[in-house]
Structure 1
């Protein structure tokens, strides 16, 4: 007894099993998380270190290099990159996908501890690490502003009330404050006043530190009681510091206010942020790798009522740059598309069958299969995202096929006069193997995807498994619920019911199609050589189109957010940079497509000549595509003199840990920094000459002006002055040195010392700096040191512990990443780089280049796996080739459609072609399976068998193909959120099905006859050879 017969005879069992699947799936669906993409983030840890006032070269040599050497001993590292700027070092460690990030974090922490003793003694704060990708965009930004409160007060609220609570939420990696204005007491020293009084700036620094100490003083313990000793509290603000006595001269006290201007200021006055043109404190929330964006945003938003209740009435918290908005919109759009596709598929079935009962039987397969798949998704830990929903959407056109094939076979016997119960048993037994063959061979298409590694494999593992679970569920329903319903719901009728006028038109049209196909099929079978040439032409054509079509990676999404990087000359002052940044921000905010904008200068440890803008666009229905908005803004912003602007749309899929101003990255490395800088400049100019590249820029800025202080060591030694004493004095004068800390119950604030701003404007100020000599006298610095103007790098970058320069670029509209990669490689060859210089793409471009090498292999592997599966199922070497004969025509249709609509052959399109492989061969299986059975069991000739198979299976073939096309068409023409991600797949499937549907109906039967002839010829040859072989001699009894 087959499974179908068991379910036909036991309807209660079948209904209850189906109900259990549905209820379990519904319960699981409610628990599925919502995301943009499957969890594909590389484990990334970012280590940051600060040494205020240290040059980029000093940070790279004394901080970055020791840490990198220690990190390189950790297992499972993919890449290590670092960026060292003025006073800051940021090291990004990207691990392989399989590495557990929590275990990696422990290894990083241990490595930092081991390196601590080799770091500069002046580093008052140890390096810190966070589980965050610094190149990843914030998932949410909060802007604090007030017309009355100071920025320092807002910053204090952000640091003490908001940041700690948000940072401890599950999934949050860090909360950065852009434009931080943390309170500090700033001591701006007048060097002339110090000189007159014979006080060195180093002495002033030590006096300040000693006067504001916060050390324990002990306890008094008596026989009956204990007293805790307390001394004078710390000085709380600038007013208290002004009266501080720092020295005595001629018996009179010298107060701090006599030699310096003491201000209530901020720690870093050279950074700022704005929200829609208003100064604000902006908090950027970044998620941990693999954390769910929607969950993180929801947790932060749940805290907003508490934050708003704590703020004074004059202050407000605005939510800006919510990345979850686009994710929710995309999911809602795909869910609507899914519902639309289900309705269209059911309508197509009804138009073919024109009976409500007959339509309901296969249509019920769709919701049951999809809901059951939700249960499997929950067990596999998947989410509701663009990829999984795209898989479910595509599955709609597939899951109904098995039920259609099953019901059509049963209905055929019912219409011949057989009782529905008997027809269900016979029809299901006859078609059961076909359904299993279709399902197993379709699932086999996705085996290569499941074996794919890297980030692309991670993205599409869920796609392959969701489609596999849907198809498997539909096969189960087709073998159980569908025949049971046919046996119970179909009526025993020998004639079709009377059709209405609409039904007669449809049936007449289909009958005309059937007659036309019958006559053209016989014509094709009579002219087999012509069809053979057509088949060869499809093979050649598909190969040529595959070579000609532009290659891409993931389609560029339009999620309604743009990031803008700005850059001015390295020697620009902070006020000048802030003015230009605001001018650019006003131009951006005035664009009719812009809804919200956040702007900042010198954030994240970057220099004052850099800025960022985070732009939120209006809904898609109210604006042009983001790419057009970027092109329009690029033209408008080009008029700002000495100001470079780089724009790119924010993407849900970000690969790599290095931030760049443009979307794609190309890295040059070398052992010799001078040689590296020369060749990187040449390569950057060569890339600028490539017409299809835009926004070509480098992270190397060599023209940063520097004042090099050359100490004459002999003179200094004669005076009893050490070089370290000189460095310390310079640091106190120009390094914004932290000399003391003011502790409060809620926060701590720094006391900073520096020369007054008017003495920091040029290198002449060095002549006013005095150093205490060994004899106790103050000696002017220019007595034993000189100043030389030089130029050096604004940042020093490493990759894999070697000096590196990263050139980033965007691809011009109408061109593909594949074209750009090829042209860059060609430019590299023409330059003839020396042996010490190595190059390579990074981030997304690197993954694309790796994926390009395996695309053809992936398609061949899918075809080979299907061939093996079909060969096993049909016990034949030749008929799997017959079944696969429609693939070249499908490839032509898919590739041609993509080219007509201006789409690249992206990874998404490749997955669509893999889907085609599974869909197209289903039609051939229905024909070949019937023909083989007719030959073996009914004694038909190959010509009669294949002709009858084609004509009898024409209706289910048309139904399954039309439902597949209708089920995919809304994806191909979608214009909703994240539609760019889905369109290539939809276009490939629709185009491939339309072309292959026409050609396969003729090529497959012709190839079937060719294969039968070839098989018979081989059999005859084998028999002749067997008959001609000499008979082996028989042993003679008793010979031994």
Structure 2
């Protein structure tokens, strides 16, 4: 007794089995998280180190290099980059995807400890690490503003009250605070007043350090009691430091800090700023933990906002800026609408062929049972409701009914021969059962190679492959159990329901079938020409795969644009603020724009800024590419500053923030060589038609004051390099000379000369140095000052100096074509072997993925052949079944090109899917022909009868698949850009393969059938 017979004779068992499928599926659905994409966790760690006042060269040589040397000993590193600017170095370490992030963090912390002896002793803080995921963009932004409170106090509210509380929420990974001006005590000294009291900056620094010392006094241990000792009255606010005694003469005269300067409550970093809606703001950017529910995380944060408003002063306003959950919900809603449309179209196709309500209902039940049960499997495997998994479910609609259609059509055929309902169900199910198994397992087999795809692409599409495979396997179970069981209760009316109303379709189908029979006879009579056409299509397929324009992923329109701005490298902070404000005002006034945030400084260079632009809903504006084009034109009118735009994508790879979506990196031992060759490459890359917004991170045009010690004179006076360096550091290096600790926070004490003495080169001459005899001499009496060029930032990759060239593509541009042209440019300009070139981020993943995609397609065919060979116990017939694949690939590529798209990763997955779909026609033909030949029918007659008898189920299943995927191919709305290439590829492939395989497969069958006995 086979499975179908068992279920036909045990209807209660079968019914309860399906109820259990539904129950588990509904339970699983309620547990599924909602996200934009499957969880892709890049094990990435970012280490930041600071030494205020140090030049980029000094930071790179004394901080970044020792740390990089230790990090290089850690196993599993995929990529390591660093960027050093004035006073700060940031090192990003990206590990292999299989590396455990917690273990990697322990290794990095150990390496930091090992590098500690080699780091500058002036560093007041240990390098800090944090786990980051470059694939995850912030999901929610909040702007905190006030017209009354200073930015330091506003920053304290944003950090201690809001940021820390939000970070404790379930699902929140971290809260980044932009535009923050952390409170500090700033001591601003007048060097002339200082010299008048025979003092130096070092004297002031020493006095403050002694006053702010937190050395623990100790404990008294008595016979019966113990007593802690503490010192009270230490200064902890700016005003308290003003009365600090900094010197005392032998005659009893004293000098206080207020006598030589001022002490104010200020910001630790006063060269950072954030703006939104024309106001100064502090922006909180919330990132979710990998695998958490984006929509739930955003909802939890929103629920906290009313609580924050009750705690903070009434003058503080909280404005939600950019909510990524909105686009996610819109995208998933649009996929669900697409899914519903596909269901309706598929059911309509079934009804037109069967023309009976009961007959239409039976295969249609396979859709809800298969899809709902799949939710249970998704929940068990930790998947989420996202664009990729829902796309898999939407695509599966056209295929989950295939098995049920084939089963139902075969049973109906026996009913039409006069068999009773139960007997027709038993005979029809037994005859077609193996065919259904072959269709199901061979379709699932095509996704096996996808499960082993490496890297980010493999991680993304693993969920797609497993989800659609589960749906297809469950549909196979439904078609072998529920479908034949229900068929025995199906009412049957000869000619179908309401014969007169649907006769037009039957008449049209009969004419098509008659035409097919006549043309098939002609093709079989000229089989050699058909064979040559098949072989030719194989060669055309290979050529089209090689020479078609390639891309990575289509650009999504999430309504969010990240714009990086850059001014001249020697620009002042105030001038940069003025230019950035002009850009922000232009963007805010654009009718396409909803909200804008702007920020300068922080961890970046002072000549760089960032605009985050939120566009209005898609119905109120053009596509995001057109919106960026218009904004570029407007922003280009502002002289002195450049802007580089890129749409924020759900699929983001690479560990660095760059000015373009694609990066090309040069590495070498010498920065001057790098500068020379990078400039040559940039000049040529700008000539490529598909490329726009070419930029580089090479910044060697800043200005530097070189201080040269007059050695002989300095030595005679007892003045050393270290003494001179410290005096300059305390004057201009934003020196942190102490820390104030409170119950809830701590604040740095910053020492510097007054702002009026920080503007000109000649201001250095106002400083004084103390000789070995105790007298003060003018700074320029022992030093020469020269102005020269210097680097604004120093970048390393893999411990080598590097220059990264970033670029974007024009709309319709091909990344594959661009990478080929860049390779040709390297040869054209004779790039030396000492300069190492490579792609980073998206471009690197694209090249790695494309290199293996051809092999993946081939492997899918091989796996399909193996599965079919095992099922049929035959080496030859699987080749017959797979003979229609080239025609499907040709149709897919032609459709992609007609629509003006690139053959990208999404389209490639569509082609892999086609491999599984197209063989279905061959399986139904070959299976019938083999049965007929075993009954003594000749091969010619067997395959001819197979084509005509199986024509109806072939058309039903193909049209179901076609109309199931049609809404995806022509979908609009949120996230449609990501889905369309796959739908278009499948539609194009189905159209060509359906026409050609109906003729190619029987011809190949007859040619290869001669070898069956021999093999």
TM-score by length of 2: 0.97
Partner of 2:647 in structure 1?
649
Deviation string 1:370-406 (CA, Å, 9 cap, x unpaired) is 1111111112211111111111111110010000000
Task: Return the offset for 1:232.
Answer: 4.2
Tell me, in whole angstroms, the C-alpha distance in 2 between the residues paired with 1:991 and 1:223. 93
Decide whether the 8 Å contact of 1:665 with 1:807 is kept in 2: yes
Does residue 1:165 correspond to 2:170, yes or no?
Answer: no
Partner of 1:554 in structure 2?
553
Partner of 1:340 in structure 2?
341
Tell me, in whole angstroms, the C-alpha distance in 2 between the residues paired with 1:430 and 1:220. 95
**Where do residues 635-784 of structure 1 align in structure 2 (5 Å cutoff)?**
635-784=633-782
Decide whether the 8 Å contact of 1:43 with 1:289 is kept in 2: no
Partner of 2:994 in structure 1?
997
Deviation string 1:658-687 (CA, Å, 9 cap, x unpaired) is 211111011110122332222222222222
Deviation string 1:175-209 (CA, Å, 9 cap, x unpaired) is 22211122222222111111122111110111122
SS at match of 2:585: helix
Partner of 1:902 in structure 2?
900
Tell me, in whole angstroms, the C-alpha distance in 2 between the residues paired with 1:498 and 1:226. 98
Partner of 1:1038 in structure 2?
none
Decide whether the 8 Å contact of 1:135 with 1:658 is kept in 2: no
Segment drifting more, 452-461 vs 8-17: 452-461
Tell me, in whole angstroms, the C-alpha distance in 1 between the residues paired with 2:229 and 2:1008. 101
Tell me, in whole angstroms, the C-alpha distance in 2 between the residues paired with 1:223 and 1:662. 71
Distance 1:135 1:403, change over 3 A: closer
Deviation string 1:246-267 (CA, Å, 9 cap, x unpaired) is 2235643222222113322211
Task: Return the offset for 1:540.
Answer: 3.2
Tell me, in whole angstroms, the C-alpha distance in 1 between the residues paired with 2:1010 and 2:228. 106
Tell me, in whole angstroms, the C-alpha distance in 1 between the residues paired with 2:178 and 2:660. 21
Segment drifting more, 453-462 vs 895-904: 453-462
Note the residue ranges of structure 1 that are not aligned, 5 or more in a row.
Answer: 1020-1040
Segment drifting more, 166-175 vs 308-317: 166-175
Tell me, in whole angstroms, the C-alpha distance in 2 between the residues paired with 1:774 and 1:862. 81
Does residue 1:942 correspond to 2:939, yes or no?
Answer: yes
Deviation string 1:492-516 (CA, Å, 9 cap, x unpaired) is x5x3356343211121111121222
**Where do residues 916-931 of structure 1 align in structure 2 (5 Å cutoff)?**
916-931=914-929
Does residue 1:975 correspond to 2:963, yes or no?
Answer: no
Segment drifting more, 715-724 vs 951-960: 715-724
**Where do residues 746-895 of structure 1 align in structure 2 (5 Å cutoff)?**
746-895=744-893
Decide whether the 8 Å contact of 2:190 with 2:754 is kept in 1: yes
Segment drifting more, 840-849 vs 1005-1014: 1005-1014
Tell me, in whole angstroms, the C-alpha distance in 2 between the residues paired with 1:469 and 1:176. 39
SS at match of 1:30: helix
Tell me, in whole angstroms, the C-alpha distance in 1 between the residues paired with 2:589 and 2:142. 22
SS at match of 2:902: coil
Deviation string 1:725-748 (CA, Å, 9 cap, x unpaired) is 111111000011112222222222
Decide whether the 8 Å contact of 1:42 with 1:289 is kept in 2: no
Distance 1:498 1:435, change over 3 A: closer
Partner of 1:601 in structure 2?
600
Partner of 2:387 in structure 1?
386
SS at match of 1:871: helix
Tell me, in whole angstroms, the C-alpha distance in 2 between the residues paired with 1:230 and 1:41. 48
Partner of 1:1026 in structure 2?
none
Partner of 1:469 in structure 2?
470
Deviation string 1:331-378 (CA, Å, 9 cap, x unpaired) is 121122112211221121112112111011000011111111111111
Tell me, in whole angstroms, the C-alpha distance in 2 between the residues paired with 1:230 and 1:10. 85
Task: Return the offset for 1:219.
Answer: 5.7
Tell me, in whole angstroms, the C-alpha distance in 1 between the residues paired with 2:637 and 2:272. 24
Decide whether the 8 Å contact of 1:26 with 1:374 is kept in 2: yes
Partner of 2:579 in structure 1?
580
Segment drifting more, 235-244 vs 990-999: 235-244
Partner of 1:1025 in structure 2?
none
Decide whether the 8 Å contact of 1:132 with 1:289 is kept in 2: no
Decide whether the 8 Å contact of 2:134 with 2:653 is kept in 1: no
Tell me, in whole angstroms, the C-alpha distance in 2 between the residues paired with 1:563 and 1:687. 23
Tell me, in whole angstroms, the C-alpha distance in 2 between the residues paired with 1:778 and 1:800. 47
Tell me, in whole angstroms, the C-alpha distance in 2 between the residues paired with 1:290 and 1:661. 28
Segment drifting more, 122-131 vs 32-41: 32-41
Tell me, in whole angstroms, the C-alpha distance in 1 between the residues paired with 2:179 and 2:732. 21
Decide whether the 8 Å contact of 2:48 with 2:129 is kept in 1: yes
Deviation string 1:123-155 (CA, Å, 9 cap, x unpaired) is 111111111146853222211012222222211
**Where do residues 299-318 of structure 1 align in structure 2 (5 Å cutoff)?**
299-318=300-319
Tell me, in whole angstroms, the C-alpha distance in 1 between the residues paired with 2:12 and 2:690. 65
Distance 1:292 1:63, change over 3 A: farther
Deviation string 1:604-661 (CA, Å, 9 cap, x unpaired) is x112111001111111111111111111111111111110100000011111112111
Tell me, in whole angstroms, the C-alpha distance in 2 between the residues paired with 1:726 and 1:171. 51
Tell me, in whole angstroms, the C-alpha distance in 1 between the residues paired with 2:497 and 2:638. 77
Decide whether the 8 Å contact of 1:57 with 1:796 is kept in 2: yes
Partner of 2:28 in structure 1?
28
Does residue 1:8 correspond to 2:5, yes or no?
Answer: no
Decide whether the 8 Å contact of 2:272 with 2:601 is kept in 1: yes
Tell me, in whole angstroms, the C-alpha distance in 2 between the residues paired with 1:461 and 1:170. 26
SS at match of 1:280: strand
Task: Return the offset for 1:229.
Answer: 4.8
Tell me, in whole angstroms, the C-alpha distance in 2 between the residues paired with 1:170 and 1:654. 24
SS at match of 1:131: strand
Tell me, in whole angstroms, the C-alpha distance in 2 between the residues paired with 1:910 and 1:535. 22
Partner of 1:1023 in structure 2?
none
Tell me, in whole angstroms, the C-alpha distance in 1 between the residues paired with 2:730 and 2:291. 44
SS at match of 2:53: coil
Decide whether the 8 Å contact of 2:41 with 2:135 is kept in 1: no
Decide whether the 8 Å contact of 2:653 with 2:842 is kept in 1: yes
Distance 1:147 1:943, change over 3 A: same
Decide whether the 8 Å contact of 1:32 with 1:383 is kept in 2: yes
SS at match of 2:377: helix
Deviation string 1:464-504 (CA, Å, 9 cap, x unpaired) is 1111111111111111110000012344x5x3356343211
Distance 1:170 1:798, change over 3 A: farther
